[in-house]
Structure 1
Amino acid sequence: MARGALRIYLGAAPGVGKTYAMLEEGQRLRAQGADVVVGFAEPHGRRLTAALAEGLETVPRRTLVHRGVSFTEMDLDAVLARRPQVALVDELAHTDVPGCRNAKRWQDVEELLDAGIDVVTTLNVQHLESLNDVVEQITGVVQHETLPDEVARRASQIELVDLPPEVLRRRMVHGDIYPPDRIESALTHYFRVGNLTALRELALLWLADRVEEGLQRYRTDHGIATPWETRERILVGLTGGAEGETLIRRAARITARTPGSELLALHVVPGDALAGGSPAALDGQRALVESLGGSYHQVTGDDVVEALLEFARAENVTQIVLGASRRGRLSRLWHAGVGQRTIHGSGPVDVHIVTHEAAAGSAALARPPLPYRGTGRRRYWLATAGTALLLPALTWALTALRGRLDLSADLILYLLAVVVIALVGGLWPALVAAVAAALLADYFFTAPPHSFAVEHGHDILALVAFVTVAALVGSAAGAAARRSYQAVRATSEARTLSRLATAMMHGQDLPSLVEQIRENFGLTAVSLLERDPGAGARPRWYVVASAGEQPPERPYDGDLESPVDDSLTLAARGQGLSREDRQFLAACAAQLAVAYTQGRLARHAAETDTFAAAERTRASLLVTAVRELRTCLDTAAGALARADEPEQARAATVRSSVRRAQQLVTDLDDVSRLHAGALDLCLRPVELSEVLTTALDDLGPGGHTLVLSLPEELPDVIADAALLTRALTALAADALRHSPAGQPPVVTAELMSGGRLALRITDGTDGSPVPAERGRSLALRLSRDLVEAMGASLRSSDTQAAAFAVTLVLPASAAPPGSAAP
């Protein structure tokens, strides 16, 4: 029996329309003649969703009692017995009530699929196991119902049901997602715009990865080796040489110019695992790649070019960035370099060859390597001293044995000495020892003696063969010694970096890490310095962490410097380090910078979490306070309305104050909803005279004392009539309270250039100075929020002016005929 097909409607959050889309698909399949049943659907009280299920056969649910409460779950046995072609099952990650056959609904779905039944289901991205911790960091909510990603990956189709955060929040406000008592809490917590945007991005990225997996699977199944440029993937090849950072930055610039592209870095380790690049340099280059948003990879292969191209084909790479060859022209004549061979074998993949300072023929030629670079300074000089002492001593011993040994035995003993010297000091001491040994054998042990002339031809052949064999054996022994030295050094460096990384993982502080670096290199003092970005032309440095006596406070105060990036550098005092040690120090500095950056990010995240928690607490308290105040004020207003006739006159003042408090609470509520993005705006042309009339009526008897100085014809303004009325009422009431008796506020209006209308409310004045707190009144702050939400602006005059004035600048819909802009 063929296994059924699974189709998932994936959403970023509740309320995006997953269940609606599932039922709509069920209706479409039913119209095409398919046998469709609803195994489980949860409309959550949404009328349109419930209506869409009409006409579809629904398998009755199973009722279970758990802890005295009745629950309904999908009746799996009934659906299996019904054996439809398609079953609609909502909420794939749901946890079944104890007593069901399976613990999770996705396990029920697996049984349906095994029975050959196609299943259409729904899933929210926050329920995916791999994203559970990320969602918790974003929303602060722990998701207890999770689904293994592998279950979703096995789906034959995954369709994203998407809504912009603003639209989803409007649905929330209209009561289309949660009941009214949960709306305020949801809007200020889980359903914030930032949360919804992040969840939406998670869903898109997760689905994009599934599409990429499907594409790779299709290319593999059909044997497609040529890359498909669905998106640019730039691969940079690293050897561990000094040119690596140049290549990485060049590849990063190419990536930055192509939105949606991906940066990859690859180092191919040769089959012998010892001829690769510097581990310290590669570690620093890995950190640079990751800091630029790329990914670092390492593969092993006997043929570097073949391994590189094989990786490029597997990862669907579209461009390869390589460094120019460091080999000379003569060497390239005998054997094509990596770049040339890559170009020949790349096919449709573009190959960029980037020049660098270490390239052959470049203007800044690299200094030739030191003779002791492969084995170390100490072993090189020890082998050199051995050459100067061992060969004369051996010659003296052979001279004493003259007559007992022939020339072949003498040459074998000399060869043994050359091999010993090669094992200690490497190639160059071995070559010097081979030539010196040949000359000594010629001078002392070939006829005529004590002369460099050779009497017999077979002696010449023996000496030539000796030099050749000694050179070959010495070269091989030296190479082995060099590789052994490199392996020991690489192991030591890896152990040091491992200790450093382990210390970072255990949260060791920066000064301790710096002290560890100082001890590893035997330095006197070490400082991690950060540059002040706002210092201007003259750089100013701050000591982030230091260790040792008199640590350098500026990069040039130390004996050596290892820059990490434009803002961080490691400065040290102490004995001079070799080139390899400097490269290793650079890798340690990169690790130190990572620890510093992680610590800074952790502190920032902690501060952000604290601020977010405080904001949530403040918003929750504000919502609670507004609700409680509204209840108290409604009670007071009701009591005043039931007052006896004799008490009505005395209650007039109290009633006015209660109305003011009610209006203030309403304004606070609206501003809170406005900041949460949950206040709907209806911007349309509004007649200003009608808005002013409504505002004056809301002010009561005091509103009729305002002086209106308006032009005969005013254009309509683009605004929300209700919010504009509230803002004008609050500003006028505030002006009335601060105006002296007999000096009422004045309201004026004028048409400005650019199709804008300025409405000004000026306090009455008696010549006394305006109080400083006048410009910080609550009414002014609330009105400014309401006005700016409509796309208008509100500004107040300086409190040092003769009279305090507030000006609203509103967009006009159309200028009245014959009006002139001032």
Structure 2
Amino acid sequence: MTRGELRIYLGAAPGVGKTYTMLEEAHRRAERGTDVVVALVETHGRRHTQAMLADLEVVSRRKVQYRGVDFTELDVGAVLARAPELVVVDELAHTNVPGSRHGKRWEDINELLDAGIDVLSTVNVQHLESLNDVVAQITGVEQRETVPDAVVRAAEQVELVDMTPEALRRRMAHGNIYQPEKIDAALGNYFRTGNLTALRELALLWLADKVEDQLDKYRTDNKIDKTWETRERVVVALTGGPEGETLIRRAARIATRTASPRSGGVDLMAVHVTRNDGLAGADPATLARQRILVESLGGSYHQVAGADVPQALLDFARAVNATQIVLGVSSRGKFAQMLSAGVGVTTTSLSGSIDVHLVPHERASQGRSARRIPAALSRGRRIAGYVATTAGLPALTALLSAGPSLSLTNDILLFLAAVVGVALIGGLWPALLAAVAGSLMLNYFFTPPVGRFTIAEGDNLLALAIFVAVALAVSWVVDTAARKTRQAAQAGTDAQILATVAGGVLRGERPLLALLERLRETFTLDSVTLLEKGVVVAEAGGRVCTRSVDADAEVKVDDELTLLMKGRPLQASDRRIIEAFAAQATVALRQERLTAEAATAKPLAEADRMRTALLAAVSHDLRTPLSSAKAAVASLRSPDVDFDDDDRAELLETADESLDRLTRLVENLLDMSRLQAGALGVHPIAVGAEEVVPRALDDLGPTGRDVAAHIPDDLPYVHADPGLLERVIVNLLANAQRYSPADRPPAVTASALGDKVEIRVIDHGPGIPEDRWDDVFLPFQRLGDRDNHTGVGLGLALSRGLTEAMGGTLTPEETPGGGLTMILTLPTAAAA
């Protein structure tokens, strides 16, 4: 029997329309003649979803009693007996009541699929097992019902039902998701804009991974190794030479030019191909610097092994579905290029649909600089090899001459064994000497005519030639194996040191000092000092070096930085690792300086901005009420005008209002200064919001009667200073009144969320763009005031400061339908 197909509708949050979209598909299938039944759909009282069940056959649910309570679950047996072509089963991650056929609903669906029935189902991203903890961190709500990712990934189709956070919150506000009494708490808790945005991104990324997996599977199943340009990916090949930085920057420019809205950006990847014997032929310090450069440009660094460099490079490029490869023009000389095509030319000829860029550089076609080949064996072993040659070959000759006569073939084999022994002891050069000396002794003492350096028979000449060739070949192989063994051991040691260094630096709070200390410990040095233009910038150890003549080793990092080490001379092989240390030290120093500069500049810039804003705002706002009060008083004192009672009362009222404004301004300035100095007195007690909010409305005067207040009687007491809390609410309401239209006055509501209470001040004005939300809490900022000549912009800044002084938070949020909502969150008295 053919297994049924599963189609899943994935959503970021409840209410995006998964069930509705699933039922739309069920109707389309039914209209095309498919036998469709609905086994289980949760409408949650949503009238539009309930309407979609019309004209669809519904299979009755199975009733299950658990602990005296009746529940309904999916009736798998009834669906199997009905045997439709397609069945609709909502909420894939649901946990069944104990005593059900299976523990989880996705297991019920698996049984239906095994029976050959196609299934439509739904799931939210927060129920995916791999994202469960991430969602809990974002929303603060732990989801106990989960479904393994493998179940969803195994579905034939996964369709994302998407909706912007703003649209979803409007649906919520219009009552299309939850009942009215739950809307306010939902908007302030799970359905915050930030939560919904994060959940939406998780859903998009998870689905993108599934699509990528599907594409990779399709390419693998169909044996497709050609590049599909679904996304631009630029691969730059690094040899470890100095030209690498030029290639990286050129590749980055190519990636920038290639980026387009359609492709959604370009991946930049640098790759270094090492020989598959594990031996590093490139300079690790140079590669370390180039890796840092790639990552600073937003790319990634990779390292692969392969005997055939062009083929390994192309295998990597095709594996990552690369579209372009950037290579440097060959650094080999013209004669070497005549002998072999080289990596660049070979890669271009085999690249197929991948574009290859050959980039010229300063070292192109100049030939590689000769590198000193390190000795494969120690000096003592080479001396032992020469001794074995000079003493052993004469002894062997004497022994063969004095003993029973052997054939020339046996003599040659014995001398060949002696040459192999010398190669094993002393390496290449002693073995070459042994091969030449052995051939001469065989010719003189054992090849007819004996006693002369001539050969009478052609067979003997051939045997001696084979002897020399085999001796040379064996000597070369032994020497090469010894050299590679030594290099491999050194490479392993270097890799282990660098890994240890990386771990130590990452765990340290100060990367530069941790790096220098690790370098000192690794090479058992007394001290390591980093100089910049001769000045000490960092040191590890007790004996600081300030001059090159005082150091045992010196590594030049760049034109300005020098690394001095004291304690013991360093071997040439150690310098390669130390240069990698030095490259990392440069980056660490720059990062520490940037961090320090940012920390120093921030308070200075803030103080300067505050001072400028204070002078600009206060100079106007102090002058205005003073001028009004002075004008009113001057008019009353003037003997030239005889005011009647009404005029006199109006002038007195003007003076009184102006002085009140001046008093509030001075109080706000004083409170702000106390907050910044940490000298504000806060006396929190248990207080009820239903007591403070009415007093705040009274403080607003006649306009306070227009504010709609909804404060539950059973709201828990909050832990706050009553006077400061009242002042915060007055400031928030006054700010909301300023921007609210006349026909839609502001509102204040309150609700309990766990061990906290939220007081929400809601206006339906023009609102503020989300990227300016933080700016409204800056002192002396007035964003979008219709009357920009009143107030110094201290109200919201002071409100947030007072709230935080009481242990609460004040955050803005978009009002569904337009406007701004200020959320004042305080701990409950019981929690405090």
TM-score scaled by length of structure 2: 0.63
Structure 2 match to 1:524:
526
- CA contact under 8 A between 1:454 and 1:460: conserved in structure 2? no
- 1:200 deviates by 1.7
Structure 1: which amino acid aligns with 2:128? L
Other-structure match for 2:488: 487
Q: Structure 2: 5+ residue runs without aligned partners?
A: 594-683, 710-723, 747-761, 768-783, 804-809, 821-832
Range 134-143 or range 288-297, more displaced: 288-297
C-alpha distance after superposition, 1:224-259 (max 9, x if no partner)? 442221111233445666766665565455444425
Cα offset, 1:523, TM superposition: 3.2
Q: Structure 1, residues 743-791: CA drift from partner, whole Å, max 9, x if none?
A: xxxxxxxxxxxx99756459xxxxxxx9x99997769999x99999999
1:134 positional shift: 3.3
Contact 2:251 2:326 in 1 (8 A): yes
Task: Report the CA distance shift for 1:24/1:516 in structure 2 as closer, same or farther (over 3 A).
Answer: same
Distance 1:85 1:442, change over 3 A: closer
SS at match of 1:523: coil
How far is 1:100 from its partner? 1.4
Indicate the residue corresponding to 2:41 in structure 1.
41
Q: Distance in 1 between matches of 2:819 and 2:548?
A: 52
Instruction: Report the counterpart of residue 18 of structure 2 in structure 1.
Output: 18
Paired AA for residue 476 in structure 1: V
Do residues 381 (structure 1) and 379 (structure 2) align?
yes
Contact 2:524 2:567 in 1 (8 A): yes
Equivalent-residue separation in structure 2 for 1:122 and 1:554 (angstroms): 71
Matched, 1:333 2:335: no
Q: Which of the numbers 370, 373, 377 marks the counterpart of 2:372?
A: 370
Change (3 A) 1:655 1:253: closer
Matches of 1:780 and 1:523 in 2, distance apart? 53
Code of the residue aligned with 2:574 in structure 1: it is: D
For 1:668 and 1:567, locate their aligned partners in 2 and report how far apart those are by CA, in whole Å: 55
User: In structure 1, what is the Cα distance between the partners aligned to 2:67 and 2:154?
Assistant: 36
Q: Post-superposition shift, 1:481? A: 0.9
2:217 corresponds in structure 1 to 217
Number of the residue aligned with 1:361: 366
Q: Tell me if the contact between 2:696 and 2:726 (Cα under 8 Å) persists in the aligned partners.
A: no
Paired amino acid for 1:478: D
Matched residue of 2:207: which SS?
helix
Q: Secondary structure at the match of 1:344?
A: helix
1:33 is displaced (CA, Å) by 3.4
CA distance in 2 between counterparts of 1:6 and 1:787 reads: 39
Q: Indicate whether 1:343 and 2:336 are aligned.
A: no
CA distance change for structure 1 residues 498 and 312 in 2, over 3 Å: closer, same or farther?
A: closer
Q: Provide the rounded CA distance (Å) in 1 between the counterparts of 2:766 and 2:547.
A: 59
Partners of 1:185 and 1:625 in 2: how far apart? 25
Out of 536, 541, 548, which is 2:541 matched to?
A: 548
8 A Cα contact 1:274 1:486, kept in partner: no
Partner of 2:321: 316
Matches within 5 A, 1:221-236: 221-236=221-236
Q: Equivalents in 1 of 2:418, 2:23: separation in Å?
A: 89
Shift of 1:318: 1.5
Alpha-carbon RMSD across the aligned residues, in angstroms, is 6.0
What residue in structure 1 maps to residue 602 of structure 2? Answer: none
- What amino acid is aligned across from residue 53 of structure 1 in structure 2? L
Report deviation, 1:197: 2.2
Matching of residues 546-625 of structure 1 within 5 Å = 547-550=540-543, 559-560=553-554, 572-573=565-566, 575=568, 577=570, 580-585=573-578
1:150 counterpart SS class:
helix
Give the drift of 1:316: 2.7
> Contact between 2:36 and 2:85, CA under 8 Å: does it hold in 1?
yes
Q: Distance in 2 between matches of 1:83 and 1:528?
A: 78
Asked if the contact 2:227/2:354 (under 8 Å) is kept, the reply is yes
For 1:548, the aligned partner's letter is G
The 1:660/1:347 distance shift into structure 2, 3 A limit, reads: closer
Distance 2:800 2:378 in 1: 85
Pick closer, same or farther for the CA change 1:86–1:476 going to 2, 3 Å.
Answer: same
Query: Which residue of structure 2 lines up, in the alignment, with residue 119 of structure 1?
Result: 119
Q: 1:519 to 1:94 in 2, by over 3 A?
A: same
Q: 1:307-327 CA deviation, whole Å, 9 max, x = no partner?
A: 443444444322223344454
Structure 1 window deviating more from structure 2 (552-561 vs 242-251): it is 552-561
CA–CA distance in structure 1, aligned partners of residues 519 and 9 of structure 2: 53
Q: Distance in 1 between matches of 2:145 and 2:811?
A: 40
Cα pair distance change 1:321/1:576, threshold 3 Å: farther
Closer/same/farther in 2, CA of residues 599 and 3 from structure 1, 3 Å limit: farther
Correspondence list, 1:690-709, <5 A: none
Counterpart amino acid of residue 350 in structure 2: G
Distance in 1 (CA, whole Å) between partners of 2:311 and 2:398 is 59
- Which residue is 1:700 aligned to? none
CA shift for structure 1 position 2: 2.4
Report deviation, 1:492: 3.5
- Contact 1:9 1:160 (8 Å CA) reproduced: yes
Counterpart CA distance in 1 for 2:550 and 2:296 is 28
Question: 2:226–2:353: 8 Å Cα contact kept in structure 1?
Answer: yes
Secondary structure at 2:7's aligned position in 1? strand
Task: State the alpha-carbon separation in 2 of the partners of residues 491 and 557 from structure 1.
Answer: 32
Name the amino acid aligned to 2:689.
Answer: L
Contact 2:393 2:434 in 1 (8 A): no
Are the equivalent residues in 2 in contact too, given 1:5–1:156 (CA < 8 A)? yes
In structure 1, the residue matched to 2:144 is 144
| Deviations 1:102-135 (CA, angstroms, capped at 9, x unpaired) | 1111111112222222211111122222333433
The verdict on how the C-alpha distance between 1:441 and 1:260 changes in structure 2, with shifts beyond 3 A counting, is same
Tell me which residue corresponds to 1:5.
Answer: 5
Q: Secondary structure at the residue paired with 2:65?
A: strand
Deviation at 1:340, TM superposition (A): 1.9
User: Which segment is superposed worse, 486-495 or 583-592?
Assistant: 583-592
- 3-state SS, counterpart of residue 199 of structure 1: helix
Asked if structure 1 preserves the Cα contact closer than 8 Å seen for 2:766 and 2:818, the reply is no
1:371 counterpart SS class: coil
Q: CA deviation at 1:479?
A: 0.8
Partners in 2 of 1:599 and 1:673 — Cα distance? 45
Which residue of 2 is the match for residue 817 of structure 1? none
Deviations 1:157-200 (A, max 9, x none): 22111112222233333443344555455444433333322222
Task: Tell whether the 8 Å contact from 1:438 to 1:467 is kept in structure 2 after alignment.
Answer: yes
Secondary structure class of the residue paired with 2:326: strand
C-alpha contact (below 8 Å) 2:397/2:441 kept by paired residues:
no
Aligned partners of 1:131, 1:426: CA distance in 2, in Å? 60
SS in 2 for 1:39: strand
DSSP 3-state at the match of 1:143: coil
User: Superposition pairs for residues 613-762 of structure 1, below 5 Å?
Assistant: 628-630=688-690, 723=765, 760-761=789-790
Question: Is the partner of 1:2 in helix, strand or coil?
Answer: coil
Question: Cα–Cα, structure 1 residues 632 and 236, in superposed 2: closer, same or farther, change >3 Å?
Answer: closer
Unaligned 5+ runs, structure 1: 532-537, 601-623, 638-651, 696-719, 726-754, 763-769, 794-822
> Matched residue of 2:20: which SS?
helix
- Output the CA distance in 1 between the equivalents of 2:734 and 2:7: 39
Flag the 1:167–1:539 CA change in 2: closer, same or farther, 3 A.
Answer: farther
Inter-partner Cα distance in structure 2 for 1:626 and 1:184: 24
Asked whether the equivalents of residues 724 and 787 of structure 1 are also in contact (C-alpha less than 8 Å), the reply is: no
Q: Deviations over 1:626-680 (max 9, x none)?
A: 994246656999xxxxxxxxxxxxxx999979869989999977998999xxx99
